[in-house]
Amino acid sequence: MDELALIKASRTGDRAAFGGLVDLYYKNIYRLAYRYMGCHAEADDICQETFLRALEKIGTLRDGRCFKAWLLKIALNLSHSRFGRQRKESTMDVNNISELTDKLTAQEIKGPFETLSSREKANLIHKHLQEMPEHLRLATILTLMEGLSQKDTAMILGCSEPSVSRHLAQSRKWLRERLRHLI
């Protein structure tokens, strides 16, 4: 069954079809939650809660073609509310965040930065990502890490495409300033 057929069947109460949607999008939601929260246990909880809420509310989804964006928005809202409560006590798990360094080009990896392991680089980038203002962090996660278009990111965040573009430019500047001593 294709995605739209799974959505249509899920709206009529077909739990197996909804399970197919979970299979399709679990990794996307997990990555988003993990990048936002920085903790595997929190990401697991957010995934579960996201899919539970989606199952409860799938009947309210007007356009099945927007399912992924709708699901990401649910996950972002849950992450945002949980992050505010957990920020001080949350500890970062860096075992599987080396993919964050994939966005660095060979030209950007110079000098002292070369001597850091992939895990240390990812840890450092993730630390600064967590400290970044939320509007910049969300644009970065959705666009650069999840690969969404600026148009889709704007729709999820409820802002314009030019705003997303500005947020991304500010995000790059933010990271460049904080990593300058290593580059």
| pLDDT digits 0-9 by tens, 107-118 | 444 444 455 566
- State phi, psi for 160 to the nearest 5 degrees: -90, 160
**Tokens 């007007």 map to which residue?**
62
Domain 98-182 has CATH 1.10.10.10: yes
pLDDT at 86: 54
* Selection from 115, 103, 11, 111 nearest residue 63 by Cα: 11
Residue 95 has pLDDT above 70, yes or no: no
Helices and strands counted in the chain (H then E): 9, 0
Please compute the mean of the pLDDT values over residues 24-34 and round it to a whole number: 93
Task: Find, among 139, 182, 144, 178, the residue nearest to 161 by Cα.
Answer: 139
Can you say how many angstroms the Cα of residue 170 is from the centroid of all Cα atoms in its chain?
A: 18
- Mean pLDDT confidence for 127-141: 88
pLDDT score recorded for residue 31: 92
Q: Which residues contact 148 (CB under 8 A, 6 or more apart)?
A: 72, 142, 156
CATH, range 3-86: 1.10.1740.10
Residue 98 has a pLDDT of: 45
Domains in the chain: boundaries? 3-86, 98-182
| CA 67 – CA 83 distance, rounded (Å) | 24
Over 50: is that where the pLDDT of 100 sits?
Answer: no
CA distance 2 to 20: 9
pTM to 2 decimal places: 0.72
| Beta-carbon contacts of residue 44 (< 8 Å; ≥ 6 apart) | 30
Q: What is the mean pLDDT of the chain?
A: 82
For residue 88, pLDDT beyond 60: no
Is the pLDDT at 127 greater than 70? The verdict is: yes
pLDDT at 116: 58
pLDDT above 90 (res 153): yes
